[in-house]
Amino acid sequence: MSRIAYVNGQYVRHAEAAVHIEDRGYQFADGVYEVCEVWQNKIVDMPRHLDRLDRSLNELRIDWPMTRSAVEFVLREVIRRNRVRDGLVYVQVTRGVSRRDHFFPPEDVAPSIVVTARSTSPKAAEAQAGKGIAVVSYPENRWPRVDIKTIALLPNVLAKQNAKEQGGKEAWYLDGDGNVTEGGSTNAWIVTKDGVLVTRPAESGILRGITRAAVLDLVQKEGLTFEERPFSLEEAFDAKEAFVTAASTLVMPVTRVDGKTIGNGHPGSVATRLRELFHTATDLRAV
Ligand code: PDD
């Protein structure tokens, strides 16, 4: 079966899917995106993801390429056409195709939309979660508007590649005060020795993760103690547990930070439980 992508109104073979060379996403990274998890034939937290897409579009003054319900339809259709039961669906909207010029294009230029979906292996993800991952810190070098989910991810690419070259799976950005902001494509959490969950407030310095929001709901439901405040790398070294969250990783235990063992070096019980319960705290829409 060949993979199918949606590009500006058409379902096309993935291998041949293309946008114009003067798409502003290609030339200026002038666009935004969302990634939703597909779990057991259901789209996880689609309303929250589309709310955030709406916010990102508004912040950059890009119009919706079609109605929100049409986008929902296309997400479902691309998932169906690719027979994804468990995986990820990706939607990207850019300011459209226009002669290269930094100023916004003329009003009649329509935004571009691309939707792709791919299967992932739940078994491989569980195996990874059973081992945990290593993270490697990296100086924060992104623009201050990381609250907008833009496709301009070059700093993230470099930070994550640096982590990979040092045996890690994720980077943790460190701000000027030595506090962890977030991961290259995840939000960052620790569990202190006293059992308090700590994650940075989403008011500035991080993307307000949808998985983070669902985990916060779960934490409250479970009656766990949590604090939204910055934490330093030293505090992470000293923590009982650490983990990251994203639609692509769900709750993923962190067992090493900059080569130092966290807790007993194995995935922590809090992170493991939150991972198990995760989907009970999410909105699930049938594909
Ligand atoms: N990344 N922080 C950053 C910088 C991210 O790129 C992401 C998501 C998150 C977590 O957000 P959410 O829980 O809504 O997925 C935090 C996606 C998955 C990606 O770029 O592939």
Every domain of the chain and the residues it spans? 4-120, 125-282
Mean pLDDT on 29-34: 98
Q: Residue 244 to residues 191, 235, 274: CA-CA distances in angstroms?
A: 11, 15, 11
pLDDT at res. 240: 98
Best CA proximity match to 147, nearest among 197, 171, 182: 182
Atom of ligand 1 nearest to the CA of 182: 2
pLDDT at res. 60: 98
Mean pLDDT on 6-22: 98
pLDDT > 80? residue 1: no
42, 123, 131, 149: which one is catalytic?
A: 149
Atom of ligand 1 nearest to the CA of 49: 14
Percent of the chain topping pLDDT 90: 99
Compute the mean pLDDT over every residue in the chain, rounded to the nearest whole number.
98
Q: Would the CB of 211 count as within 6 Å of ligand 1?
A: yes
DSSP code, position 273: H
Model pLDDT for residues 72-116, shown as the tens digit of each residue: 999 999 999 999 999 999 999 999 999 999 999 999 999 999 999
pLDDT > 80? residue 229: yes
Cβ–Cβ under 8 Å, residues 151 and 94: yes
**Domain at 125-282: CATH code:** 3.20.10.10
Mean pLDDT on 15-38: 98
Pocket test for ligand 1, best of 141, 182, 185 (most atoms within 8 A of CB): 185
Q: Which CATH class is domain 4-120?
A: alpha beta
Q: Would the CB of 186 count as within 6 Å of ligand 1?
A: yes
Mean pLDDT on 178-207: 98
Model pLDDT for residues 140-185, shown as the tens digit of each residue: 999 999 999 999 999 999 999 999 999 999 999 999 999 999 999 9
Cβ–Cβ under 8 Å, residues 4 and 12: yes
149 assigned to active site: yes
pLDDT at res. 2: 84
Best CA proximity match to 276, nearest among 255, 242, 253, 256: 253
Mean pLDDT on 179-199: 98
- Residue 72's CB is within 10 A of a number of other CB atoms, namely 15
Mean pLDDT on 207-234: 98
Mean pLDDT on 252-256: 99
Q: Would the CB of 78 count as within 6 Å of ligand 1?
A: no
User: Are domains 4-120 and 125-282 of this chain identical in fold?
Assistant: no
What tokens does 193 get?
């020795």
Q: What does pTM read for this prediction?
A: 0.98
Pocket test for ligand 1, best of 32, 35, 215 (most atoms within 8 A of CB): 35
